Amino acid sequence: MPFLVRFLMRHAVIGVGVAAVFVALLAAFDVAHLGTLFATSPDGPLALIVLTLALGVTFGSVQMGFAVMLMSDKDEPPRGRRIRLTRLVPRLARVHAGR
């Protein structure tokens, strides 16, 4: 499997794992009574699965975006060095005014 595909899949799985932990903490600490809702509602497990999948897609996408944006290119020059510009010389411009 190509490196970039493995790279993106690894970071997507990391994001889904973070989302699963986040949903577990939401349910465990009963934030906005979500834990109670999941436990008492007949459709509680379905709501838990849907919330986990939705946040998994979101967190996985964000993690993949972070990973791609933080990739560095080895061909770049170091950022601390400046390139010298040649000396700028002013030139006169001829302007023809119409009457």
pLDDT tens-digit readout, 1-53? 889 999 999 999 999 999 999 999 999 999 999 999 999 999 999 999 999 99
Count the domains in the chain. 1
Q: How confident is residue 76, by pLDDT bands cut at 50, 70 and 90?
A: low
Residue 35 lies in a domain: yes
Contact 16, 60 (CB under 8 A): yes
CA 55 → CA 12, 17, 24, distances in Å?
12, 10, 12
Residue 79 lies in a domain: no
Residue 84 lies in a domain: no
76: left (phi over 0), alpha (psi -120 to 50) or beta: beta
Q: Mean per-residue pLDDT for 51-61? A: 97
Contact 22, 54 (CB under 8 A): no
Indicate the pTM of the whole model. 0.70
Residue 46 lies in a domain: yes
What is the pLDDT, as a whole number, of residue 77?
Answer: 59
What's the chain's length in residues? 99
Residue 78 lies in a domain: no
Range(s) of the domain holding residue 64 = 3-69
Residue 89 lies in a domain: no
Residue 93 lies in a domain: no
Residue 83 lies in a domain: no
